[in-house]
């Protein structure tokens, strides 16, 4: 029974929760769904990031920007001009930092037009979020937490079913 539970918990998750804080005013949280690249990295294919109000970054809920170059580097240019962000949407779950120097790219449309936030890693426990427009750079810490897939939890529970049925049969025999 314990083995079935361990198998369910250890299964590879393709959904991750992300948090970011600079230890002050800027906080963000969200989640990304990934596909496994087979080499220890995963490509984020969808997700959201909500930047909380009160900080220097433009607050709101951003959506992960699709990377047309697959696992390669690409650039998003702010429609308002003034440059852009390089990104590759690659996640390295077993590494610190869990994103490389290109990072994850999120965008949203609001009253000022299309705005973006790029989250990338600088080194162990060191991350940067940068917003555009206006250009806003915030250094801080980020976390990546795997979320178990519901199908994995159900599969683990189904593995326990024979043990429960056997226990019920034994109890019925003792009472008869």
Output the pTM of the full model.
0.78
Query: Would you state the pLDDT for residue 173?
Result: 66
- Whole-angstrom Cα distance, residue 9 to residue 154? 11
Residue 18 near residue 49, CB atoms below 8 Å: yes
Query: Would you state the pLDDT for residue 102?
Result: 97
Query: Would you state the pLDDT for residue 153?
Result: 52
Helix (H) / strand (E) containing 146? strand 136-147
Q: What digits encode the pLDDT tens for the residues 82-91?
A: 788 999 999 9
Phi, psi angles (nearest 5°) of residue 17: -90, 140
Distances (CA, A) of 147 to 19, 32, 38, 80, 153: 13, 10, 19, 36, 11
Query: Would you state the pLDDT for residue 9?
Result: 40
Helix (H) / strand (E) containing 51? strand 42-51
Number of H-type helices and E-type strands within the chain: 2, 11
Q: What digits encode the pLDDT tens for the residues 52-71?
A: 999 999 899 999 999 999 99
């Amino acid at each position: 029974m314990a083995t079935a539970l361990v198998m369910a918990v250890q299964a590879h998750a393709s959904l991750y929760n992300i948090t970011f804080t600079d230890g002050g005013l800027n906080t963000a949280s969200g989640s990304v769904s990934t596909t496994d690249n087979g080499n220890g990295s995963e490509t984020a294919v969808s997700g959201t990031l909500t930047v909380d109000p009160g900080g220097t970054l433009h607050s709101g809920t951003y959506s992960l920007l699709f990377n047309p170059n697959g696992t390669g580097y690409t650039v998003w240019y702010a429609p308002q001009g003034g440059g852009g962000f390089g990104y590759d949407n690659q996640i390295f779950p077993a590494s610190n930092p869990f994103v490389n120097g290109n990072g994850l790219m999120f965008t949203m449309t609001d009253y000022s037009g299309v705005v973006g936030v790029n989250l990338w890693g600088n080194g162990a426990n060191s991350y940067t979020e940068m917003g555009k427009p206006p250009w806003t750079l915030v250094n801080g810490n980020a976390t990546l937490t795997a979320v178990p897939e519901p199908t994995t939890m159900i599969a683990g529970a189904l593995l326990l079913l024979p043990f429960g049925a056997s226990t019920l049969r034994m109890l019925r025999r003792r009472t008869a």
